[in-house]
């Protein structure tokens, strides 16, 4: 029973991976659509990122040493946070938005998941340009440690499709979740150490820092660049969390992939 469920999920994923041209093409198409009639096109993604990063850097930067490397801290934090925020808020409505496709074609559900994934990666690519620019201007030195940040990014990206699957099913069977998730993500930007630093502050900040899974996904990308050491505990936590999400996502996909069409 369990094996059959997993096998069914893997079939779906396998055929979606063979159809990668479909989701790459659809993702490009969607990003093009969003910016088709604008003068700057997808450059707005970069400007949006720079506007946020710039605001935080100028408003919150203090002269004291506790905030050394603050521009780089905000730049990397925002890059990862925007990525997580976009992936989660978009995925809750994913299957509902694709209703006509799901009811009219036999595309594996994972195609829609990978398409959203691809889209979010392309959009994050524009923010990455801005992030690289801020890092270069901030004068922080490139070191071998950056390799760990890269690995951190890979962990974030590898977790994303599982999270998309779970939230997409959530959105189908619990429609109110789209408002809950988008609200939480908006508030989450302030509850997660994206632009504030923890510094063992204790109190409420400690709770939001310590019990917030997003903290650790930010840290594995940020700490190697900012502090120059490897946050091994955060890495372990994120990989463990990622694997748990994937296990849950596979179960959901295997059990519900032929049922979702009746529920949307």
Partner 1 sequence: MVSIRVENLRLTYRLHDKLSLAPNRPRMPTGGRLEGEGRKRSVTALDGVSFKLQAGDRLGLVGPNGAGKTTLLKVLYGIYAPTSGTVEIDGRVDALFNINLGFRREATGRRNIVLRGLINGWSMEQIEARMEEIIAFSELGDFIDMPFKTYSQGMAARLAFSIATAMEPEILLMDEWIGAGDARFQEKAKARTAQLARQAGIIVLASHSRALLAKTCNKILTLEGGTARPLQSVEEWQAAMDEAAE
In the complex, minimum distance from the CB of residue 256 to partner 1, in angstroms, rounded to a whole number: 11
Q: Is residue 36 close enough to count as binding partner 1 by CB under 8 A?
A: yes
Between CA 110 and CA 88 the distance in angstroms is 16
Q: Is residue 168 close enough to count as binding partner 1 by CB under 8 A?
A: no
In the complex, minimum distance from the CB of residue 119 to partner 1, in angstroms, rounded to a whole number: 14
Residues 6+ apart with CB under 8 A from 59: none
Looking at the Cβ atoms of 101 and 210, the one nearer to partner 1 is 101
The full DSSP string for 85-117 is: HHHHHHHHTHHHHTHHHHHH----HHHHHHHHH
Q: Is residue 155 close enough to count as binding partner 1 by CB under 8 A?
A: no
Between CA 104 and CA 100 the distance in angstroms is 6
Which of 65, 66, 100, 200 is the binder for partner 1 (CB under 8 A)? 100
Q: Is residue 4 close enough to count as binding partner 1 by CB under 8 A?
A: no
CA dihedral 214, 220, 222, 223 (to 10 degrees): 120
Q: Is residue 240 close enough to count as binding partner 1 by CB under 8 A?
A: no
Residue 72, both tokens: 């780089």
Between CA 254 and CA 11 the distance in angstroms is 9
Q: Is residue 103 close enough to count as binding partner 1 by CB under 8 A?
A: yes
Q: Is residue 147 close enough to count as binding partner 1 by CB under 8 A?
A: no
Q: Which stretch in 133-141, 226-234, 245-253, 255-263 sits in contact with partner 1 by CB under 8 A?
A: 255-263
Looking at the Cβ atoms of 165 and 260, the one nearer to partner 1 is 260
**Of 178, 175, 210, 171, residue with least CA distance to 193:** 210
Which of 10, 22, 128, 191 is the binder for partner 1 (CB under 8 A)? 22
Contact characters 65-94, partner 1, x per CB under 8 A: ------------------------------
Residues 6+ apart with CB under 8 A from 191: 208, 212
Residues that bind partner 1 (CB under 8 A): 19, 21-22, 25-26, 29, 32-33, 36, 100-107, 173-176, 258-259, 261-263
């Amino acid at each position: 029973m369990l094996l059959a469920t997993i096998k069914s999920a893997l079939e779906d994923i396998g055929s979606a991976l063979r159809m990668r041209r479909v989701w790459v093409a659809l993702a490009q198409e969607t990003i093009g659509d969003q910016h088709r009639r604008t003068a700057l096109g997808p450059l707005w993604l970069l400007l949006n990122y720079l506007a946020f990063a710039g605001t935080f850097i100028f408003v919150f930067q203090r002269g004291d040493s506790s905030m050394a490397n603050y521009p780089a801290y905000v730049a990397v934090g925002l890059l990862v946070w925007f990525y997580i925020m976009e992936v989660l808020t978009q995925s809750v409505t994913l299957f509902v938005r694709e209703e006509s496709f799901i009811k009219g074609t036999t595309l594996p559900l994972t195609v829609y998941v990978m398409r959203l994934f691809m889209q979010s990666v392309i959009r994050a690519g524009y923010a990455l340009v801005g992030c690289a620019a801020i890092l270069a201007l901030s004068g922080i030195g490139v070191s071998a440690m950056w390799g760990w940040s890269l690995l951190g990014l890979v962990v974030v990206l590898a977790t994303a499709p599982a999270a998309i699957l779970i939230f997409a099913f959530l959105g189908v069977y619990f429609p109110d979740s789209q408002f809950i998730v988008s609200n939480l993500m908006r508030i989450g930007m302030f509850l997660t150490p994206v632009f504030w630093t923890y510094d063992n502050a204790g109190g409420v900040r400690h709770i939001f820092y310590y019990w917030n899974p997003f903290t650790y996904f930010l840290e594995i990308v940020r700490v190697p660049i900012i502090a120059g050491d490897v946050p091994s505990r955060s890495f372990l936590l994120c990989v463990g969390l990622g694997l748990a999400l994937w296990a849950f996502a596979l179960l959901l996909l295997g059990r519900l992939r032929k049922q979702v069409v009746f529920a949307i």
